[in-house]
Amino acid sequence: MLEILESISRARENENDMEALERFKGIMYLNRLAEVIQDTSLCGLAKSAPNPVLSTLRWFRDEYEDHIFERKCPAGVCKELLTYEIDTEKCVGCTLCARECPTEAIIGKAKTPHYIVDDKCIGCGNCMDVCRFNAVTVK
């Protein structure tokens, strides 16, 4: 179950065709696997272990589907699925975000709006943490 949940929250760049297919099947397998664990377990602890997954599948199914089909995390907690953007109207070009970016994914000259190169961005959130002008947002 953990492997399925991890594959759902993994970025697209890190998966091959077979893993993509498994990700699509993931939501069906999770429900079935949780029920099998409950039915075949011999102790009470194991019978209740899948309850959190079953509960989230029941009440937050739309979030699972967003992760699987849209590759987005509505809650904003899956780092690999987050994408950051700089609002050019709010950015004053202080270069603080560019200096804090570990992958040099932010480009721009001083006193001009900066931009994030999505292919280089690892989603660490350093830019958002250091921006004093709230110019960095999560998509």
* Residue-wise pLDDT tens digits, 88-109: 999 999 999 999 999 999 999 9
Place of tokens 């560019």: 98
**Whole-number Cα distances in Å, 5 to 22, 28, 75, 107, 133:** 11, 12, 15, 34, 35
Measured distance between the N- and C-terminal CA atoms of the chain, rounded to whole angstroms:
28
- Residue 62, classed as helix, strand or coil, is helix
- Has residue 118 got a pLDDT over 70? yes
* Residue-wise pLDDT tens digits, 20-29: 777 777 777 8
CATH of 83-138, one of 3.40.50.620, 3.40.1780.10, 3.40.470.10, 3.30.70.20: 3.30.70.20
Per-residue pLDDT band at 14 (split at 50, 70, 90): low
- Has residue 40 got a pLDDT over 90? yes
Map out the domains of the chain as residue ranges. 2-70, 83-138
Lowest mean pLDDT among 4-18, 28-42, 84-98: 4-18
- Has residue 64 got a pLDDT over 90? no
pLDDT of residue 77: 82
C-alpha to C-alpha distance for 48 and 28, rounded to whole angstroms: 19
How do 115-116 and 106-107 pair as beta strands? antiparallel
H or E element: which one contains 3? helix 2-8
* Residue-wise pLDDT tens digits, 67-79: 888 888 888 788 7
Helix axes 17-40, 51-59, angle to 10 degrees: 120
pLDDT of residue 15: 66
